[in-house]
Amino acid sequence: MKKFTLFLALITASIFYGQNTGSVVGKLTDKEYNNEPLAFANVLIKGTTKGTTSDFDGLYALENLDAGNYTLIFSFVGYQTQELPVTVVAGKVTEVNVPMGASAASLDEVVITTTTKRESETALLLEQKKAVVIKESIGAERLSKIGVSDASSATSKISGVTKSEGSGDIYIRGLGDRYLSTTMNGLPIPSDDVNNKNINLNLFSTNIIENVGISKTYSTSSYADQGSGNVDITSKSYAKKEFSIGVSSGYNTNTIGINNFKRSIITDDVTLGFHKKQYALTDLITRQSWDPVDQKNTGNYSISLSGGTKFDVLGKQLKVFVAGSHRQNYDYQEGVFRSFRSNVLDNKFTDVEQSQSRTNTTGYVNLALKLNDNNNLKISSLSVNKSEDNVYEQGRNGEGYVFDQDPKEEQAFVRDQNFKQTILLVNQIEGSHNISEKNELNWAAGYNYVLAQEPNRIRNEANIFTPETDPDNQTIIDTGMPFVQYAHVGDFQQRKSSQKIEDIEYNAFVEDAFSLGAFDEDANTTPFKLHVGADFRQKDRVFSSQFIGVRARGFQVPSVDEFTLTFTPENFDDGLALREPAPDRYDADINIMAAYANLDFGLNKKLSGNVGVRFERDEINVLWDVANYIDSETGTARVGSTQREYTEVYPSANFKYELNEKHFFRLASSLTQTLPEFKEVSPFEYVSPTGRVTKGNPDLEKSDVLNIDAKWEFFPSQGELISATAFFKNIKNPINLAQTRGSSGIFQYANTGEEANVYGVELETRLDLITNDDEVAILNFNANITNMWFNQDLLENYQYKGVTETDLQGASDLIINSSLSYNSQTEKEFIATVTGNYSSDKIFALGSPEDFANSAQLYNDQIIEKGFVTLDFVASKQITDKLELKFTGRNLLNPEIKQTQLVRNLSTGIETNETVLSYKKGSLLSLSLKYSF
């Protein structure tokens, strides 16, 4: 941390130039023609020669204005010229909407609002029209109108993007976690779940978001590790002096009326989501219970606070914005789980129950310091404490089955209790500087820290015996008492374990932009702008996992709710055996250094674009000491290492052709990559509560991706958009999660083929169906559809029953998002939004042959996650100027989340589609109040 502080101090001391400008945007309407957009009207800054004209939609923009007071002159032939005073605020956008007519408009007809540029819907739409890359953004202004509560929901309002209710993952163009990258204010941020590459966007509530932007095409200023796009969250800064508080309460419908919701015994050591360890893992065997606890109250709640103000500090202006929240949610699921190996039933449970409680505490601080008229600094700090308690049970009904289990296969029972806590810290400092009229310098540096722990995971495997199923035990039959006996295939199946992962990351970038050529007053631009910059990223991970197993062969308890009776000091003296193997460990780091240059150009008013090149060096090092690993070449057990070094050049080209003021055509092409994650190259085996085992692969290599996009955009009027995009991706060495050969049924990450191709078409519409007398939308409709075609070849290890090609793992070929939103546009607004999402079937894991010589019969077919529809409803009412009431209904259709697998009957040769996993998440209903001071 000291190194990081010194690093920031050196940067801050060495750079002393800055930028302090704002913008004015707005819409001009024609009072003489029902307030239709007024095109080609003049907007001039009084006393200067700087100005612009409105486009076909009546939209105009004056940018890069020094902070201060101005007078704007609005004029059009035959109409009354109007002069309006406007105050430009640094880093903000002032929106001035003016009705023009034969006589001057009265002051109450002119609408002037000031907000951040990245919150204003008008400013973001103008930015999208002017951008040379294919980028779409949604700002806080629109998020508020449609009732969106977090960044995850916000992304699904952008074309080609959906989120999975099953996994919570975000998919861009059908491609999931592996192919995305996520940044905050342009800097990388870590995942809150170390099993994922990207952070859960649900953590970003709208009270800390200015806007969410998704770039679906690549430019060389970004890291090359992205195959489908980048999600960038611009965090909120001070806009005006305010303070607000919000509270909410609700239920998951699955938890209503149930009496068997459980929490783990580990939660006895937890307060407000923070775990405090009481005993060493060895002592937990006998000094803490093994049985879960009944949870009576399952109501959800949350509280949030936010506010901002500004000060003068030593003659400098300091702006402060802070936000914080705490929430608790409960989920309960019932379903089934089965698994097959070589088309033979391996596990079967018809009564899976899962009780989950989640706690999330988030804090955010943003400081903006104005050093002088040309220099700004901004510091952002995000802290998250996220915890999840999970009690998973299967087989309580006595119908469980586990192949080849001892003492018997039938009436198997499994319980897995686990509490996970993740502490995440993101700290960033940014500087923006105006060195001269033609030279802008921007830089940023970040420090990220993640601590993920499973302090005391408890797992039990047993068999339930009843008098009817145990006729040889006369004593049991005579008393009529059932009992439970511990399963012991491989022994030491009763266990407590701990896991700890610690990540530390430093990252930074610096970019200098030079405007080249003469200033074009008509276009308010210079024809060329050269960007040169460099990126740095270093991330270190330390991983450790320890389990202590107990051999309890022959020991019995009266029921599955009394396991604690077994694990006593007396029983350890009477036959219980303890095993404490060496812990599993791995140390990993990734180091990325890059330099880039790209050029914005405008050959004429029609054709513009950006071309660039990036030189990037990626180095990945992993050193491990784990059980169940033997080096195939040396025969060395447990210890091994992986080193990967990739030095590549990544070009990109983005072109925009303006057909007219309303129609744009864009073309983009680039080369990117997909790097393997630490967990994917470390041969550590992680057992999920269901019993599925996922293992890393030291032989994994990165994927290279060729991207080509063509897009047509049509802007019918202000706030409206119709677009169509065609895209193509070629992926070399695609990485997929696949099943492996062998009775253990392991899932492993692998380069399963030489290449994969993706073809896609994306359609989007954003239309105002009904407007009021002021031409402001009352009823708005948004929809986007993405259809894709995938094809990847399969290496021999993944070919069976004659199949040599397949789709990509984790990718949906059809995505549909739509929303219908009503806004009363009255002083005390009523807003209601219905949102629907659909993503089609996708492969959860690729299949594999068990026997190459007989792969038509002995194989494990791919597992499919079935598509489903979700429906959300949000309604809010402004009760007073300061009080807002909101009702939220999530996942109202409550679809079944299901995974299926084709299974061949080895006697008849007939394949049937079997369900291997299913459950319902329940609908989330909540009521909230927000009061602003």
Per-chain mean pLDDT for the chain = 85
Contact 354, 260 (CB under 8 A): no
Answer yes or no: is 868 within a domain: no
Identify whether residues 50 and 146 lie together within a single domain.
no
The secondary structure of 570-604 as a DSSP string is: HHHTTT-EEE-PPPEEEEEEEEEEEEEEEEEEESS
Identify whether residues 110 and 17 lie together within a single domain.
yes
Identify whether residues 87 and 36 lie together within a single domain.
yes
Identify whether residues 167 and 81 lie together within a single domain.
no
Answer yes or no: is 140 within a domain: yes
Position 5 scores a pLDDT of: 39
Identify whether residues 63 and 151 lie together within a single domain.
no
- Is residue 127 scored above 70 in pLDDT? no
- Is residue 413 scored above 90 in pLDDT? yes
Q: How far apart are the first and last CA of the chain?
A: 38
Q: How confident is the model at residue 167 (pLDDT cuts 50, 70, 90)?
A: low
Q: How confident is the model at residue 562 (pLDDT cuts 50, 70, 90)?
A: very high
Identify whether residues 79 and 157 lie together within a single domain.
no
Q: How confident is the model at residue 491 (pLDDT cuts 50, 70, 90)?
A: confident
pLDDT tens digit sequence for 831-869: 999 988 888 999 999 999 988 888 888 899 999 999 999
Position 140 scores a pLDDT of: 64
HSE-CB of 584 using CA atoms within 13 angstroms:
20
The Cα–Cα gap between 488 and 462 comes to 8
Mean pLDDT computed over 532-552: 94
Tell me the CATH number at 78. Answer: 2.60.40.1120
Pick from 93-97, 164-168, 231-235, 784-788: least confident: 164-168
Domain total in the chain = 2
The Cα–Cα gap between 865 and 326 comes to 33
> Which residue would you say has higher pLDDT here, 200 or 753?
753
Q: How confident is the model at residue 14 (pLDDT cuts 50, 70, 90)?
A: very low
- Is residue 8 scored above 50 in pLDDT? no
Residue appearing with tokens 């801050």: 12
Position 163 scores a pLDDT of: 66
Identify whether residues 61 and 148 lie together within a single domain.
no
pLDDT tens digit sequence for 700-756: 999 999 999 999 988 887 678 899 999 999 999 999 999 987 656 789 999 999 999
Tell me the CATH number at 227. Answer: 2.170.130.10
pLDDT tens digit sequence for 380-395: 999 999 999 999 999 9
Answer yes or no: is 667 within a domain: no
Two tokens at 378? 């901004």
Whole domain around residue 19: which residue ranges? 2-115
Mean pLDDT computed over 114-131: 58
The secondary structure of 470-516 as a DSSP string is: -TT-HHHHHHT--EEEE--TTS--EEEEEEEEEEEEEEEEEEEEEEE
Position 922 scores a pLDDT of: 94
| Sequence letter at residue 47 | G
Using the 3D structure, point to which of 115, 141, 170 is the last residue of a domain.
115
Position 717 scores a pLDDT of: 76
The Cα–Cα gap between 249 and 887 comes to 10
pLDDT tens digit sequence for 609-658: 899 999 999 999 999 999 888 877 777 788 999 999 999 999 999 998 98
Q: How confident is the model at residue 129 (pLDDT cuts 50, 70, 90)?
A: low
Answer yes or no: is 765 within a domain: no
Contact 28, 41 (CB under 8 A): yes
Answer yes or no: is 75 within a domain: yes
Position 141 scores a pLDDT of: 62
Q: How confident is the model at residue 121 (pLDDT cuts 50, 70, 90)?
A: low
Q: Which of 212, 85, 238 is nearest to 156 (CA)?
A: 212
Identify whether residues 174 and 95 lie together within a single domain.
no
Contact 924, 300 (CB under 8 A): yes
Q: Is the pTM of this model over 0.85?
A: no
Task: State whether residue 811 is helix, strand or coil.
Answer: coil
Integer CA distances (angstroms), 706 to 293, 409, 651, 728, 762, in order? 53, 50, 10, 8, 18
DSSP-H helix ranges across 233-294: 281-287
Identify whether residues 109 and 165 lie together within a single domain.
no
Identify whether residues 165 and 94 lie together within a single domain.
no
Identify whether residues 95 and 134 lie together within a single domain.
no
Identify whether residues 101 and 195 lie together within a single domain.
no
The Cα–Cα gap between 165 and 229 comes to 21
Q: How confident is the model at residue 110 (pLDDT cuts 50, 70, 90)?
A: low
Answer yes or no: is 151 within a domain: yes
Position 34 scores a pLDDT of: 61
pLDDT tens digit sequence for 426-468: 999 999 998 887 889 999 999 999 999 999 999 999 999 987 6
The secondary structure of 549-567 as a DSSP string is: EEE-TT-EESSTT-GGGTS
Answer yes or no: is 74 within a domain: yes
Residue appearing with tokens 């400092």: 429
- Is residue 554 scored above 80 in pLDDT? yes
- Is residue 913 scored above 60 in pLDDT? yes
Position 443 scores a pLDDT of: 95
Q: Is the peptide bond before 651 cis (omega within 30 degrees of 0)?
A: no
Position 68 scores a pLDDT of: 87
Using the 3D structure, point to which of 115, 132, 159 is the last residue of a domain.
115
Radius of gyration of the chain (CA): 30
Answer yes or no: is 90 within a domain: yes
Using the 3D structure, point to which of 175, 205, 239 is the last residue of a domain.
239
Chain-centroid distance, C-alpha 262: 28
The Cα–Cα gap between 141 and 510 comes to 30
pLDDT tens digit sequence for 280-331: 999 999 999 999 999 989 999 999 999 999 888 888 889 999 999 999 999 9
Integer CA distances (angstroms), 790 to 116, 117, 316, in order? 41, 39, 56
The secondary structure of 143-200 as a DSSP string is: HHHTT--BHHHHHTTSTTEEE-TTT--EEETTB-GGGEEEEETTEE---SSTTSSS--
